[in-house]
Amino acid sequence: MKHAHIPGVLVALAASVAMIGCGKKEEPKAAAPAPAPAAAPAPAPKPEIVVKIGHVAPLTGPIAHLGKDNENGARLAVDDANAKKLEIDGKIVKFELLGEDDQADPKTGTVVAQKLVDAKVAGVVGHLNSGTTIPASAIYNQAGLPQISPSATNPKYTQQGFNTTFRVMANDIQQGSVVGTYAVKDMGAKKVAIIDDRTAYGQGLADEVEKAAKAAGATIVAREFTTDKATDFKAILTKIKAKNPDVIFLGGMDAVGGPMLKQIKELGIKAKFTTGDGGCSPELIKLAGAASEGVICTQAGLPVDKLPNGQKFVEDFTKKYGQIQIYSPYSYDAVMVLVDAMKRANSVDPVKYLPEVGKTAYDGVTGKVEFDEKGDIKNGAITVFVIQEGKLVTLKSEGGTAAAAAAPAAAPAAAPEAKK
Amino acid sequence: MSGESGRSPRGLQQWLGLLLLVGVLLAVPFVAALGGQAWVRIANFAILYVFLALGLNIVVGYAGLLDLGYVAFYAVGAYCYALLASPHFGIHLPFWVILPFGAALACLFGILLGAPTLKLRGDYLAIVTLGFGEIIRIFMNNLNAPINITNGAQGITLIDPIRIGDFSFAKTSTLFGISLSGPQKYYFLLVALAALVIVINIRLQNSRIGRAWQAIREDEVAAKACGINTRNIKLLAFAMGASFGGIAGGVFAAMQGFVSPESFSLMESITILAMVVLGGMGHIPGVILGAVLLTGLPEALRYGIEPLQKAVFGRMIIDPESLRMLVFGLALVLVMRFRPAGLWPSSLRRRELSEVTD
Amino acid sequence: MDTLLQQLINGLTLGAVYALVALGYTMVYGIIGLINFAHGEVVMIGTMVAFTVIVSLAGSGMPPLLILSVGLLIAVVACMVLGWGLERVAYRPLRHAPRLTPLITAIGMSIVLQNVAMIIWGRNYITFPPMIDKRIYEVGGASFTNVQVAIVVLAALVMIGLTYLVQRTRMGMAMRATAQNQHVALLMGVDIDRVIAMAFIIGSALGALAGCMVGSYYEIAHYQMGFMLGLKAFTAAVLGGIGNMAGAMAGGLLLGIIEALGAGYIGDLTGNFLGSHYQDIFAFMVLIIVLMFRPSGLFGERTGDRA
**pLDDT per residue as tens digits for the range C174-214:** 998 998 888 899 998 999 999 999 999 999 999 999 999 99
- For C300, nearest residue in chain B (alpha carbons): B124
Q: What is the pLDDT of residue A303?
A: 74
Cβ distance C277 to B281 less than 8 Å, yes or no, reads no
- Cβ-Cβ contacts under 8 Å between A and C: the total is 100
Residue numbers in A near B318 (CB within 8 A): 1
Domain boundaries of chain A, sorted by first residue = 2-169+306-370, 172-300+382-414
- Cβ-Cβ contacts under 8 Å between B and C: the total is 131
Q: In the beta sheet, which residues pair with residue C127?
A: C220
Does some domain include residue C46?
Answer: yes
Number of helices (H) and strands (E) in chain A: give both, helices first.
12, 15
Q: How many CB atoms lie within 10 A of CB A408?
A: 9
Instruction: Say whether residue A62 is in contact with chain B using an 8 A CB cutoff.
Output: no
Mean pLDDT of chain A: 81
Cβ distance A131 to B37 less than 8 Å, yes or no, reads no
More confident residue, C48 or A6: C48
Cβ distance C119 to B332 less than 8 Å, yes or no, reads no
CB proximity under 8 Å: B 276-295 to A: none
CB proximity under 8 Å: B 119-148 to C: 119-124, 126-128, 130-132, 134-135, 138-139, 141-142, 146
Does some domain include residue C44?
Answer: yes
Does some domain include residue C144?
Answer: yes
More confident residue, C181 or A306: C181
Smallest CA–CA distance, residue B141 to chain C, in Å, is 9
Complex ipTM: 0.87
CB proximity under 8 Å: A 89-148 to B: 101, 104-107, 110-112, 114-115, 117-119, 130-131, 134-135, 138, 142
Mean pLDDT of chain B: 84
Using 50, 70 and 90 to split pLDDT, how confident is the model at A418?
A: very low
Q: Which of C108, C242, C307 sits opposite B332 (nearest CB)?
A: C108
How deeply is C59 buried, as exposed, middle or buried, from its count of CB atoms within 10 A (0-12, 13-18, 19+)?
Answer: exposed
Q: What is the pLDDT of residue A277?
A: 85
Using 50, 70 and 90 to split pLDDT, how confident is the model at B282?
A: confident
**pLDDT per residue as tens digits for the range C237-287:** 988 988 888 899 999 999 999 888 888 887 777 766 777 778 778 778 888
CB proximity under 8 Å: A 219-238 to B: 225
- Give the C-alpha distances (Å, rounded to integers) separating C307 from B29, B60, B209, B245, C101: 41, 12, 20, 25, 12
Q: How many CB atoms lie within 10 A of CB B97?
A: 11
Q: Residue C136's domain spans which residues?
A: 19-226
CA distance A214 to A216: 5
Domain A172-300+382-414, classified CATH 1.20.120.1810, yes or no: no
Instruction: Say whether residue B215 is in contact with chain A using an 8 A CB cutoff.
Output: no
Does some domain include residue C59?
Answer: yes
Q: Own/partner pairs for A313-322, CB < 8 Å, 24+ apart?
A: A313/A76, A313/A365, A316/A76, A316/A80, A317/A72, A317/A73, A317/A76, A320/A5, A320/A9, A320/A72, A320/A76, A321/A2, A321/A5, A321/A69, A321/A72, A321/A76, A322/A2
One-letter amino acid for residue A198 of the chain: R
Q: Is residue B311 pLDDT above 80, yes or no?
A: no
- For A112, nearest residue in chain B (alpha carbons): B38
The sign of the dihedral angle between the CA atoms of C270, C273, C277, C283 is negative
Per cent of chain B over pLDDT 70 is: 91
Question: Domain A2-169+306-370, what architecture?
Answer: 3-Layer(aba) Sandwich (3.40)
φ, ψ dihedrals at C254, nearest 5°: -60, -45
CA distance A152 to A374: 14
CB proximity under 8 Å: B 191-210 to C: none
Report the number of distinct structural domains present in chain C.
1
Does some domain include residue C57?
Answer: yes
SS3 B257: coil
CA distance C29 to C178: 12
Q: What is the pLDDT of residue B315?
A: 61
Smallest CA–CA distance, residue C291 to chain A, in Å, is 25
Does some domain include residue C49?
Answer: yes
CB proximity under 8 Å: B 318-337 to C: 318-319, 322-323, 325-326, 328-333, 336-337
Smallest CA–CA distance, residue B172 to chain C, in Å, is 39
Q: Which of C130, C224, C267 sits opposite A62 (nearest CB)?
A: C224
> What's the average model confidence in pLDDT over B27-37?
83
CA distance A319 to A113: 31
Using 50, 70 and 90 to split pLDDT, how confident is the model at A334?
A: very high
Q: What is the pLDDT of residue A19?
A: 40
Residue numbers in A near B302 (CB within 8 A): 101
Q: What is the pLDDT of residue B6?
A: 47
Mean pLDDT of chain C: 87
